Amino acid sequence: MTRSCTTTATGGGLRRGMVRATAVVVAVLMLVSCRPEIGPRPQSRSPLPPTPEFVEVTMDEYRFDYRRPVPPGRVIFTVHNEGSLDHELVLVALPERVAVPRKRRRQPQLVATVFHVRPRPPDSERKFAVDLTPGDYAMLCFIEASDGETHLDKGMRSEFRVR
Amino acid sequence: MASWHTCSMGRRVPRGPRAVAGGLVAAAAIAVFVSAGKTDVIRAQVRDDLPATSNDLRLARTQNSPLLLADPTNPRFVVLAHRLDAPTFGCGLQVSGDGGRTYVPAEPVPELPEGAEKCYSPEVAFDGNGTLYYLFVGLHGRGNTPMGIFLTTSSDRARTFTKPIKVLDAGNYQTRMVIDPTVDDQGRIHLVWLHTTADPPTGGLPPPPNPILTAYSDDGGKTFSEPLEITDPERPRAVAPAVALGADGALHVVYYDLQGDARDYQGLRGPTWTGTWSVVVKSSSDRRRRFSPAVVVSDDVVPPERVLLIYTMPPPAIAADEDDLYVAWHDARNDDWDVFLSRSSDAGQSWSAPTRVNDDEIRNGRHQYLPDLSVAPDGRVDVIFYDRRRDPENVRNDVYYAYSDDGGRTFSENLRLTSESSDSRTGQRYLVPSGQGRGDVGSRISVLAHEDAAVAAWGDSRNVLLAPYSDVFATEIVLSRERGAGGAWSKVGVLAAATAVCAATVLVWRRRRLSRSRSAGESTEVPRDTAELGTQE
């Protein structure tokens, strides 16, 4: 009986203790939640802007190498000349159903130049950014080789599609 | 005979070991003092510079005059507002989600306000909630006549903007904006601008007075207070204001006083003014807009050349933190152009003698110009400027960076930020008497100081094919703070101190233990030589 009473008394104490502890926790939580905000209040929940795409282009005799596909939007091109000759990069937007000729034509077809990396010496680099919209593009090099052919004639051209 | 003295606890401890222990503790103190005396050194590392704007030869653009700003609620969101000078006047905005390292485009003014045909000369500011305020000039007509100053805002990180509202009428120029985030919920928008009192002639301002005015808005720009004139009547040719907020919301406005230089002020023909200008600061004592009399920062500003176009004249740079206020500008007092900085530690009431920031050889005939500055949270002062030190012809621009870790008294070795130089002669050309057909590289470049980095942006024509054409390039300077020349010293010092203290403690403890054991025996005296041997009793 005594043990029983003692046990009851202990259980009651425990319960009271738990109730008090819970009350203290609730009070602290209420105080914390009511505390005025300190410092700037972020209003904007919008995500941060994306980073632009980076495309590394390697120029060599006689080709352009780069990762595909090239995405739409802001693209930063880093162009390295890893060849032993000067090279240029003329980035053109191709109208629909116009392909880059394998040889320079006598009557060249006008296409819009998006960007022109002027002739660069070996082991040099140039960076530029363009905002690409979906469509067909090409990289071309019109520098004339010592035999009179252009680098384009020798195959230095590359087409890509931005979707 | 051994010698003794009494310790504070009344126990007798041998003097020799105590002297040794005292010596060790003293050595430790000296080691700590020496290592603590060494100053920190900031290591700066410049990352690759990258284009922050795009270009397209189908509609080649001249882009310059960037202004960088970080969202106070998330410094990783950085905006870059800039000017377009060709093929037509315009304004741009690039946004970054990586603290200013890379950028993508935003469109702050998809529809121009009624009557405006072009947007020009943007300014940006954030309020304390992260709302972006974008201020611009509306232009119309073939003469690009300003028809008002407009304000638009974005609360979704520059994805959408509100319809622009007109905040100033025509006849107002060189408008700057800053927001005090501590006033009410929306913050207080301060505007400072140059007001013309008559129709301006081509390329110049009408004769004085054309005062610099200020007004504020506490309702997000819907209404503004009555304009208050902050230029003094004795300085009638005040132009090119710039503004910064100091401690307790004090407003500091810096401007050039062209003194007697009516030629540049009114855009008249003629050679460069041979007199001097002044750099002047007006400061409000507090948010109540009571301005003190103008305080001269420097009276010896030798004009570097004719002002290209008075409406877009580059202002002095100004920045503040809780303790200090800094102003930077360039002038030709050393024959070629140098960048100078002055500091005020009393809220703009007095200014230090100018410090030359660029560290190339003085009077070498190479220009440094168009500085911008920013103060990091730890008080580091970052400065960038155009620099032609690498070109014997004094034509090709680079951008250099320097920091000060002692409040602008001294500056670090200058660091080149550009991986390639660009031609300073490209850019929009103005057919006005003062312009003389010169190219315009823009009216500002920009640096933004973070705690452990700085980002910089500038107009850059390295990719030019046909002038006018230019991009804005940007880079990041990563800064790490290390112990100075004493970096190794500090480690050795702390190690030596710790060793000395340990050795002293062990020595004293063992002596006391020995002393107690002796006092329990037949004699309380321990021969000095035995005590020093310690364990050999």
Q: Is the pLDDT of residue B71 over 60?
A: yes
Is A113–B130 a contact, with Cβ atoms under 8 angstroms apart? no
* Mean pLDDT, residues B87-115 taken together: 95
Alpha-carbon distances, residue B5 vs B13, B21, B517 (angstroms)? 7, 15, 18
Q: How far apart are CA A106 and CA B16, in angstroms?
A: 104
Lookup result for tokens 């004339």: A144
Q: Give the pLDDT score at A24.
A: 62
Residues in A touching B72 (Cβ below 8 Å): 40
In DSSP terms, B343 is beta-bridged to: B326
Q: Which helix (H) or strand (E) holds B497?
A: helix B487-519
Q: Is the pLDDT of residue B277 over 80?
A: yes
Residue A67, domain member (yes or no): yes
Q: Which residue has the higher pLDDT, B524 or B391?
A: B391
Domain range for residue A140?
53-162
Q: Best of B74, B93, B104 to disrupt the A interface by mutation (most A CBs within 10 Å)?
A: B104
Q: Give the pLDDT score at B35.
A: 52
Correct CATH for B42-483 of 3.90.420.10, 2.120.10.10, 3.30.300.30, 1.10.10.10: 2.120.10.10
Query: Sorting pLDDT into bands at 50, 70 and 90, what band is A35?
Result: very low
CATH of the domain at A84: 2.60.40.420
Phi, psi of B269 (to 5 degrees): -70, 155
Q: Give the pLDDT score at B481.
A: 85
pLDDT tens-digit readout, B317-333: 999 999 999 999 999 99
Angle A98-A100-A104 from CA coordinates, rounded to 5°: 125
Q: Is the pLDDT of residue B434 over 70?
A: yes
Lookup result for tokens 């155009």: B386
Q: Give the pLDDT score at A89.
A: 97
Whether A40 has its CB under 8 Å from any CB of chain B: the answer is: yes
Q: Is the pLDDT of residue B531 over 80?
A: no
Rounded to the nearest angstrom, the minimum Cα separation between A95 and chain B is: 13
pLDDT tens-digit readout, B151-207: 999 999 999 999 999 999 999 999 999 999 999 888 999 999 999 999 888 789 999
Q: How far apart are CA B111 and CA A144, in angstroms?
A: 47
Secondary structure of B277-329 in HEC code, one letter for each residue: EEEEEEEECCCCCCECCCEEEEEEECCCCCCCCHHHCCCCEEEECCCCEEEEE
Q: Is the pLDDT of residue B517 over 80?
A: no
Mention every residue, 6+ apart, whose C-beta is less than 8 A from residue B61. Answer: B53, B55, B84, B86, B87, B90, B469, B470
Q: How far apart are CA B48 and CA B419, in angstroms?
A: 7
- ipTM of model: 0.81
Residue A1, domain member (yes or no): no
Q: Which residue has the higher pLDDT, B473 or A99?
A: B473
Of the candidates B83, B82, B150, which has an alpha carbon nearest to the alpha carbon of residue B116?
B150
Q: How far apart are CA B318 and CA B253, in angstroms?
A: 8
Residue A5, domain member (yes or no): no
Alpha-carbon distances, residue B309 vs B186, B255, B269, B387, B422 (angstroms)? 35, 16, 12, 21, 22
Whether A121 has its CB under 8 Å from any CB of chain B: the answer is: no
> Is the CB of residue B265 less than 8 Å from the CB of residue B205?
yes
> Is the CB of residue A4 less than 8 Å from the CB of residue A12?
no
Residue A41, domain member (yes or no): no
Q: Which two tokens stand for residue B483?
A: 């112990």
Q: Is the pLDDT of residue A32 over 70?
A: no
Q: How far apart are CA B102 and CA B70, in angstroms?
A: 13
Whether A49 has its CB under 8 Å from any CB of chain B: the answer is: yes
Q: Give the pLDDT score at B528.
A: 35
Q: Is the pLDDT of residue B5 over 60?
A: no
Q: Is the pLDDT of residue B411 over 60?
A: yes
SS3 A4: helix
Query: Nearest-CA residue of chain B relative to A46?
Result: B156
Q: Is the pLDDT of residue B521 over 90?
A: no
Q: Which of A13-17, B50-54, B108-112 has the highest mean pLDDT?
A: B50-54
Q: What is the mean pLDDT of chain B?
A: 87
> Is the CB of residue B224 less than 8 Å from the CB of residue B216?
yes
Say how many domains are in chain A: 1
Query: Nearest-CA residue of chain B relative to A40?
Result: B128
Residue A33, domain member (yes or no): no
pLDDT tens-digit readout, B356-379: 999 999 999 999 999 999 999 999
State the sign of the Cα–Cα–Cα–Cα dihedral B255, B257, B262, B268. Answer: negative
Q: Give the pLDDT score at A109.
A: 66
pLDDT tens-digit readout, B125-139: 999 999 999 999 999
Residue A151, domain member (yes or no): yes
Is B58–A112 a contact, with Cβ atoms under 8 angstroms apart? yes
* Mean pLDDT, residues B391-416 taken together: 97
Q: Give the pLDDT score at A104.
A: 60
Provide CATH 2.120.10.10 ranges for chain B: 42-483
pTM of the model: 0.82
Chain B residues in contact with chain A using a Cβ-Cβ cutoff of 8 Å: 48-58, 71-74, 76-77, 95-98, 102-106, 128-131, 155-159, 181, 419, 463, 465, 471
Q: Is the pLDDT of residue B523 over 60?
A: no
